[in-house]
Structure 1
Amino acid sequence: MRKSVLLVNGGKREATRLLKEEFPVDLIVLTEPRFAHLYDETTEVVLVDDVEDLQTARDTVLTALSGRDVDHVVSPTERGQVVAAFLRAYFGTPGASFEVAHAFTNKYSMKLKLRRSGIPVASGILLTAPEKLLERQSELTWPVVLKPVVGSGSAYTHRIDCADDLRRFLDSPEGAALRACGHAVLAEEFVAMEGEYHCDGVVSGGEVAFAVPSRYLQPLLGRLDQISGSVTLPEDDPDREEILRLHVLAVKALGLEGGVTHMELFKTERGFVVGEIACRPGGAGVVDHVRRHCGVDLWREFIRTSLGEAARIVPRPARGITAHVHLPPAPGRVVDVTPAEEFMAIPDVKEVDMRVCAGDVIGPEVRSSSTVGLIYLETPDLAVLDSRVKEIAEVYRLSVEPV
């Protein structure tokens, strides 16, 4: 019997494609007008101005259903997960509860639960507006990182070094954008790190069925205009065991029964600190990175576990070191950009996914997932990888003109 699935979505095309092509479901998509062009006439689409407006989403979906039932509510996006959980509770469908979705999306609630479970996290406070930090600065040690309490991709995330720096920030366009983002603000003490890592996993029946740890080529904050990306940790890397242990503890602390996770960590002189964990696939190359590394498709497992099915993890042995490289964007109309063929000529480059070409316009808002293109590599060891990344940086060119 075909299941009826309500997908609360934005621009995640892979989730829509899988539900339409590989799973026997009747699909309804709840999204915002700015994403409507991503869906063709064969997809039933319901529009709301703001997908985070719980009551409007409920009323709009109820009207659109016209008496039909819903078997599952799924959301692959950070902004859609709380409303998806709210709709599950309203329609009585299985899946992550409102409390679990809130813990995985609200960074303040997340850190409270992680800290109570003995998981190391940065010290932080919740602010109703960024200027409130001026009143409460004695509660933290400078520098401080300000970010929306709900968000992804490093959007509206800023390092503030002192009170004078904060005053300048509050008077800047960036400060105004954070103030207007629509969420409370989390202020956290900046974590001095030796490296930044991520761990991507699959949870089935309340247990971690699969996880793979990776290290970013360099920490992301403040470096989004530079070559970035990540590399899977070798099997003999001494940090693997601790990262995998913290991932299991975080999943248990937040109560996830089934789904896909993307956890960020910082390595410090005192050990690892968990930055945050999301219950959806990582963005900007992570899914293809993992698939190339060991054959596990995180998007398929996300859909499968979101529909209440058990994970089907059959990883193959990794072939050396797998990495992906982000090509950083710059705002403006693209005049010239390195073609994929030039990157493919570099040894160990296996795939190039260019996202822009001459004539395209790159917007001013840059996030950690923003990229001109993604390059996937397989190398025998980390020393060779470092050399290949340098070659990519030397070949990369991007020329833009004002719009």
Structure 2
Amino acid sequence: MRKRVLLVNGGKPEPIRILEQDPEVELLALTDHEYRYMIGAGTETVAIEDTRDLEAARKAVLRLAAGRDIDYVVAPGERGQLVAAYLRSYFGVPGTGLEVATAFTNKDAMKKALRAAGLPVADSRLITGLDRLADAGEEIGWPVVVKPVVGSGTALTFLIRSAAEAAGFLRTSDAAELGACGQALLVEKFVRMTKEYHCDGIVSGGEVAFALPSCYFDPLLGNLDRISGSYTLPEDDPDQEEILRLNARAVRALGLEDGATHLELFRTGTGFVIGEIACRPAGGGVPEAVLRHCGVDLWAEMVRVCTGGRADIRPLRTDKVTLNVMIPPEEGRVVEMTPAERFLEIPGVTRAEIRARPGDVLESPKRSTVMAALLFVELPGIDVMEDRLAQIAGAHKLVTEPV
């Protein structure tokens, strides 16, 4: 008998493909109107304005199921985690519940749980409006970072250095957009870091079944207009063991039983500080970089453990370093963009996905996963990385004109 799976789509094509091609799955899909095009014609689907609307989602799924039981609910993106947890509770479906989903998506709840478990996190305050920003900054100590308490990536995340800067920020369009985001806000102490890392893994039966640490070229905040990305840490990197230990402790602290995780953390002069951890695969090129590096498909493993399976992951051993390189967009209509063939001439570049083509209208990057091109690079070690990144920067040419 096939298992009936409800997919809460958040604009992620990979799990759709996996589930639609699985002969043992009867797939139902709940999606936002803007992502309806991603669902195959043969999949029973209901589209609503916003899948984060719990009541609208519940009613839509009742219509979609039409009296049939649902066995599992899969939410591959950040925006679907809370509604998926609510639907599991409502329909009596096993999997991540509301308390755990809230801990992984609400940054205030997350910080409190991690702090209670003795894990290193920055001091923070929850505020319900920007009129409290200056007070929170004074309590915590400047500089601070302010962002929506529920959100992903670097979207609507701003560094504020002083009370005077906070006053000026309140008069900007960025502040207006942040204030209208519909979320409470988190104000946290800015972490002065020497490096920023991420660790991507799979949890099965409450235990970390796989985890791979990587390091960003540069911290993401404040660098969205530059070529960015990350590289997998060599196995002999001195930071690897501590990152894996913190990842496992964070998973236990927040109570995830089955799913994928994406941990962000910083190294400072006094040790590591955890930024955030999500219970879904990373955005950008990270999942493909992991697959290219050691053969582990984070999307397939996430689907497996979230639909009743158990992880049996055997990563390939390798001495290589794998890079995912994200080239940012520039505002305006694209006149010229470096073709993929030019990037592929650079030693080590194995794939180049060009997302900005002549005639496309681009906006300045406001989040870390928006890009003009995505490259994957395989190198024998990090000693040649700076040279390869310099070659990529030299080959890159994006010309735009005002719209």
- Answer whether TM exceeds 0.5 for this pair: yes
Cα pair 1:293 1:319 within 8 Å, conserved: no
Q: Deviations 1:68-119 (Å, cap 9, x if unpaired)?
A: 1111111011111011000000100110111011100001100000011111
Aligned counterpart, 1:59:
59
Q: Report if the CA contact (8 A) 2:10-2:78 is conserved.
A: no
The equivalent of 1:179 in structure 2 is 179
- Aligned twin of 1:235: 235
1:25 — aligned with what? Answer: 25
Q: Provide closer, same or farther for how the CA distance between residues 309 and 359 of structure 1 changes in structure 2, counting only shifts above 3 A.
A: same
Task: Give the TM-score of the pair, scaled to structure 1.
Answer: 0.98
Displacement after TM superposition at 1:386 (Å): 1.0
**Are 2:365 and 2:371, in contact at CA under 8 Å, matched by a contact in 1?**
no
Give the structure 2 partner of residue 104 of structure 1.
104
SS at match of 1:80: helix
Mapped to 1, the partners of 2:171 and 2:47 lie a distance apart of 35
Is the 1:122–1:188 contact (alpha carbons within 8 Å) kept by the matching residues of 2?
A: yes
| Structure 1 counterpart of 2:177, one-letter code | A
Cα deviation, 1:7-49, whole Å, max 9, x if unaligned, reads 1112101111110013521111111112222224222221222
Name the structure 2 match of 1:119.
Answer: 119
Q: CA deviation at 1:364?
A: 4.5
Distance in 1 separating the partners of 2:141 and 2:180: 25
Q: Which residue of 2 aligns with 1:296?
A: 296
> Offset of 1:169 from its aligned partner?
1.2
- Partners of 1:154 and 1:251 lie apart in 2 by 22
SS of the aligned residue for 1:304 comes to: helix
**SS of match in other structure, 1:378:** strand
Provide the rounded CA distance (Å) in 2 between the counterparts of 1:38 and 1:58: 21
Of 252-261 and 61-70, more deviation after overlay is shown by 61-70
Equivalent-residue separation in structure 2 for 1:204 and 1:276 (angstroms): 20
Structure 1 residue 284 and structure 2 residue 284: aligned? Answer: yes
Higher alpha-carbon deviation: 113-122 or 306-315 = 306-315
In the TM superposition, what are the counterparts of 1:186-205 in structure 2 within 5 Å?
186-205=186-205
Aligned equivalents of 1:37 and 1:332: distance in 2? 26
CA distance in 2, matches of 1:136, 1:317: 47
Deviation at 1:365, TM superposition (A): 5.2
AA aligned to 2:309 is E
Q: Does structure 1 residue 146 correspond to structure 2 residue 146? A: yes
* Deviant stretches of 4+, over 4 Å: none
- Greater shift after overlay, 24-33 or 340-349? 24-33
Matched residue count: 403
Q: What amino acid is aligned across from residue 345 of structure 1 in structure 2?
A: E
User: CA RMSD of the aligned region, Å?
Assistant: 1.1
Match of 2:159 in 1: 159
Report the equivalent of 2:376.
Answer: 376
Please state whether the residue corresponding to 2:78 is helix, strand or coil.
Answer: coil
Amino acid in structure 1 at the alignment position of 2:124: G
Does the residue aligned with 1:196 lie in a helix, a strand or coil? strand
TM-score (norm 2): 0.98
Q: For 1:267 and 1:207, how far apart are their aligned partners in 2?
A: 25
User: Which residue matches 1:11?
Assistant: 11
Q: Who is 1:212 aligned against?
A: 212
Q: 2:105 corresponds to which letter in structure 1? A: T
Query: For structure 1, which runs of at least 5 residues remain unmatched after alignment?
Result: none
Pairwise CA distance, 1:5: 1.0
- Please give the alpha-carbon distance, in whole angstroms, between the structure 1 residues aligned to 2:204 and 2:261: 11
User: Structure 1 stretch 366-375 or stretch 209-218: which is displaced more?
Assistant: 366-375
What SS does the corresponding residue of 1:317 show, helix, strand or coil? coil
Kept in 2, the 8 Å contact 1:329–1:366? The answer is no
Query: Counterpart of 2:277 in 1: which secondary structure?
Result: strand
Alpha-carbon distance between aligned partners in 2 of 1:313 and 1:245, rounded to the nearest angstrom:
19
- Native 8 Å contact 1:258 1:308 kept in 2: no
Residues 3 and 26 of structure 2 are in contact (CA less than 8 Å); yes or no, is this contact kept in structure 1?
A: yes
SS of corresponding position for 2:79: coil
- Kindly provide the amino acid, as one letter, of the partner of residue 65 in structure 1: A
Structure 2: unaligned runs, 5 residues or longer: none
Output one character per residue of 1:265-312: Cα deviation in whole Å (capped at 9) or x when no partner. 000000000000001111100001111111101000010011021012
C-alpha distance in structure 2 between counterparts of 1:286 and 1:370, whole Å: 13
Equivalent positions of 1:296-315 (< 5 A) are 296-315=296-315
1:170 to 2:173 alignment? no
Provide the residue aligned with 1:317 in structure 2: 317
Q: CA deviation at 1:319?
A: 3.8
How far apart, CA to CA, are the structure 1 residues paired with 2:76 and 2:371?
A: 20
